[in-house]
């Protein structure tokens, strides 16, 4: 992978993850350790030892937002901060369970669609090439299908055509980057493959209904 900004990873107890990287800039990472045996996670919360699959370098807006709020509470001296952090911890677990359920449904084999292993290969390839123009032929060759059969199977599996899926993922990345005040709208557009700020703005507004600047303003408000 060439882009780790805004990435999340979930490693359940009993699993081991290790790796290495040569970062171009200093890497900043926040770790949350969640003990589901803690009294905080009792039956009344609706959480009883959830089984959540390992997930590496993914992005989900709801999980990301909750994690940022929880991170902001770490080390806070506010007397009510502990209760708020505990509430956020419960929300974070619920968001992970929701993501697990949503993914499980999305990856079920669909008649005429792509097998799970092909879906995974395509998703990983698209994530690694978000800032590039990837042709339909390139994607079809990745899973050894004709362009016609690939386009039809992809839409049956993901619910949208390949180009729309690619663009949606670009905009998800843009939403994540817009939470970083240090980056200008122009810089973010370039990072996700737009040479012109105006083109990025049009594409972002088409997907979200807001310009990047408006979206950033709403987030800060």
- Which residues, in sequence order, are bridge partners of residue 172? none
Ramachandran region of residue 7, left (φ > 0), alpha (ψ -120 to 50) or beta? beta
- Which residues, in sequence order, are bridge partners of residue 10? 55
User: In the prediction, which pLDDT does 180 show?
Assistant: 87
User: In the prediction, which pLDDT does 220 show?
Assistant: 61
Instruction: Please state, in angstroms and rounded to a whole number, the distance separating the CA atoms of residues 106 and 158.
Output: 7
Q: Each residue of 58-84: b (16+ CB within 10 Å) or e?
A: bbbeebbebbeebeebeeeeeeeeeee
* 195-204 residue pLDDT tens: 999 999 999 9
* 208-218 residue pLDDT tens: 889 999 988 87
* 59-93 residue pLDDT tens: 888 888 899 888 888 777 777 788 888 888 888 88
Take residue 116 and report the two structure tokens written for it: 């799970």
Instruction: Please state, in angstroms and rounded to a whole number, the distance separating the CA atoms of residues 83 and 144.
Output: 53
CATH 1.10.3720.10, applies to 166-220? no
pTM listed for this prediction: 0.52
User: 207 or 40, which is more confident?
Assistant: 207
Instruction: Please state, in angstroms and rounded to a whole number, the distance separating the CA atoms of residues 220 and 195.
Output: 26
User: In the prediction, which pLDDT does 137 show?
Assistant: 94
User: In the prediction, which pLDDT does 110 show?
Assistant: 47
178 pLDDT exceeds 60?
Answer: yes
Which residue has 């949350």 as its token pair? 32
112 pLDDT exceeds 70?
Answer: no
* 125-163 residue pLDDT tens: 999 999 999 999 999 999 999 999 999 999 998 889 999
């Amino acid at each position: 992978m060439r882009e780790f900004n805004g990435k999340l990873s979930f490693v359940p107890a009993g699993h081991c993850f290790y790796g290495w990287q040569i970062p171009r800039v200093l890497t900043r990472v926040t770790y949350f350790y969640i003990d589901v045996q803690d009294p905080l996670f009792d039956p009344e919360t609706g959480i009883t030892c959830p089984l959540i699959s390992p997930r590496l370098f993914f992005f989900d807006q709801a999980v990301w937002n909750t994690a940022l709020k929880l991170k902001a509470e770490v080390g806070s001296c506010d007397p009510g901060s502990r209760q708020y952090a505990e509430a956020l911890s419960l929300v974070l677990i619920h968001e992970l369970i929701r993501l697990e359920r949503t993914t499980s449904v999305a990856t079920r084999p669909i008649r005429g669609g792509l097998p799970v292993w092909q879906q995974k290969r395509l998703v990983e390839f698209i994530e690694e090439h978000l800032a590039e123009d990837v042709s339909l032929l390139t994607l079809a060759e990745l899973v050894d299908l004709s362009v016609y059969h690939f386009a039809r199977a992809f839409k049956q599996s993901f619910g949208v055509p390949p180009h729309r899926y690619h663009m949606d993922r670009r905009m998800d990345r843009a939403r994540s980057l817009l939470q970083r005040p240090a980056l200008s709208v122009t810089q973010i557009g370039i990072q996700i493959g737009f040479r012109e700020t105006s083109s990025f703005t049009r594409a972002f507004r088409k997907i979200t209904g807001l310009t990047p600047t408006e979206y950033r303003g709403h987030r800060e408000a």
